Structure 1
């Protein structure tokens, strides 16, 4: 059977199985890509790759070689995955995607440890034009977020308030950039920067810190201790639990909100790791499918983007690591 026929047959089988499920039942998303060919790669990724005088395939081989050659790293991935109840291939998929399309991997894992120590020595803070994030979130616009005690909902609420009330607007005589919350307050070096083996942003780390504390026992992160946040996302021993927590959350929210079990499709979890916003995407998919069903249409399966497509396309090689 050709690959195109296989994808067609897989999608048809899924639709048949979905039709047999009662309303509200959780549907397992099958392995493999829904798209026959890879969705387009963003121009910014292509530009970075050209500037580094390399190719996507070369970058893929570099991160794959790093994981394959480092048995200690693989053992850590397996251990962390077990703690969070996910397949280790989800963590590997996120690593592969990040270092193929966003940044180039270092040749040795030790380099990440060295850089983690270097960040602790820097006088870092999260602020915008002299206003620290701690002072910023005391503004009255954020009062509704005080009801949330867990870090994920608290920082997600604050991010939503930023989008609604501050982004690109003038508030109390201060003009705020038309840019993401994470880029304005949480990336003092340059906008769009993420860090370390897992290429996590400081805001994601702050959102996931309660889950990581609960599952791994690591100290909770605080926005007023920026150096600790940066060390955490640079140090492989600390960042792997945060990667696992992020991936676990995506799996959990898609099951709870959209009635899809994406745990068997690393391309989907990698896509969500790349795009972020698993909660809003799960809600959007649930709303879309409710409308489709009301109109007598078949529901839509979660689909991979260019990044997740590569993970599914290379899945045999990734699983062979373990």
Structure 2
């Protein structure tokens, strides 16, 4: 006689990146196995966790992959095993209404922190590079944001690290909910068209987006008070004039005390400049000799502190 029963609670889950309750383990007599005594195997075993219930049962939780698809989980205790067939159905829902599918928001606090660590690490590393070593795609402030965002969402495994000199990149945990480019959007990370319907579409996204588009369609304002900024947040400026230019900076540092940015090309003088990476203390930026670059509420050119839409908390 089997000492513990496994009761599936569902066979179909929404592929939204959240943890879903898919089964319950119950002991026929006494308590179910503790979460510490259980393991999972299978293609998506890393997405399984266990939770002790108040009634003595143990819940099986499964974080659905955002791409959807079928999987067969095998749950094991020291004396028994159980099979759980599951199917994840892809969703394009957007309960916030900002144009980003819910499945691509980072629902787990640890994942949001992992993203911030990678995003700021990549930006700081770019700022420390000699100009000759800077990735060729980083040609202005928006390119720095796109590059850092994309790298932050990759799976940083052994194969990824092999492209760098040993020790030149820190060993940090990767985002677990999903990794670029393995999403329903593929390489199209950035919304480039206005939010026109409740359900986003793949054609709404692209690999390229300028600073204005990143500001208006891919991030949300947190505050116009710089003290609200966290590492990985963004500062946007709109410099009025003939070109109506938008500019961005990345907040870095453990205490959110630095900004990193690319100046972008400058052809206004006698000699054309391709621009350069810069890193500055926010305290110095607040005293910038040109008031237009001060991140203060009294500066009409300062749009505020912004945060990526995928970092919205549930």
Question: TM over 0.5: same fold?
Answer: no
Which TM class, normalised by the smaller chain length? under 0.3
TM value normalised by structure 1: 0.24
TM value normalised by structure 2: 0.25
Higher relative strand content: 2
Comparing both chains, which one has the higher relative contact order based on Cα–Cα distances under 8 Å and sequence gaps of 6 or more? 1
Considering only CA atoms, is the larger Rg found in Structure 1 or Structure 2?
Answer: 2
Higher relative helix content: 1
